[in-house]
Amino acid sequence: MELKKPKVYATRVLHEARKLKLIEEDLEFPDGHKETWEHVVLKEPGAKVLAVTDNDELIMVREYRGAAGEYVLRIPTGAIEPGEKPDEAAVRELQEEVGYFPQTLEFIEEQKPMSTFFKAYAFIFYATNLQKKSLERDAGEQDMQVAHIPLEKVYEMIFDMEISDPQTIYAILRLRKHLKDKTKNEG
């Protein structure tokens, strides 16, 4: 049986901030019942970079995240600026946050929105053949710490909740599949 989407019959912006909008939607489901749902929309799409060194280390950043109330280990990520292409944003963010320029940048996928309360799109890239080349960090990024983590240890860190950011975890799992598929296609 094919599921039918509910009809959105009204949409309201409850609040608009610098980076986010709070949206309320009135929905009518196929069985006739009606509900009102809210969700947050991130205004600009983002670029996420899984940068791996020649020593098979994933380069991550430890950065304070207000919603978590603590420093969080995540991959280099940032908003795509107006007029900027996703791959350009990925390269810029990598240089700003961790000080590397990728000689090779592969697109993995466009990450779809988190489904329940948060809608945000991001483009995930795999960066290799890294060269030291940094750009000045943005305000608010000055206290970031860069971490080089062996790829084989990353999965253990996810299960131990040392890496807890859901979007970073998703990107790491996509990288695992990407590398597995790449090996299969080359073999």
Q: Strands 122-132 and 46-52, how do they pair?
A: parallel
Rounded CA-CA distance 135/118 in Å is: 30
Residue ranges in the chain modelled with pLDDT below 70: 113-115, 134-142, 187
Could you give the dihedral angle defined by the CA atoms of residues 114, 120, 125 and 130, in that order, rounded to the nearest 10 degrees? -120
Are the CB atoms for 86 and 128 separated by under 8 Å? no
pLDDT at 68: 79
Q: What is the CA radius of gyration of the chain?
A: 19
pLDDT value for 139? 54
Q: Which residues on adjacent β-strands are paired with residue 58?
A: 52, 149
Specify the pTM.
Answer: 0.84
pLDDT value at residue 106 = 96
Give, to the nearest 10 degrees, the angle between helix 151-159 and helix 166-186.
140
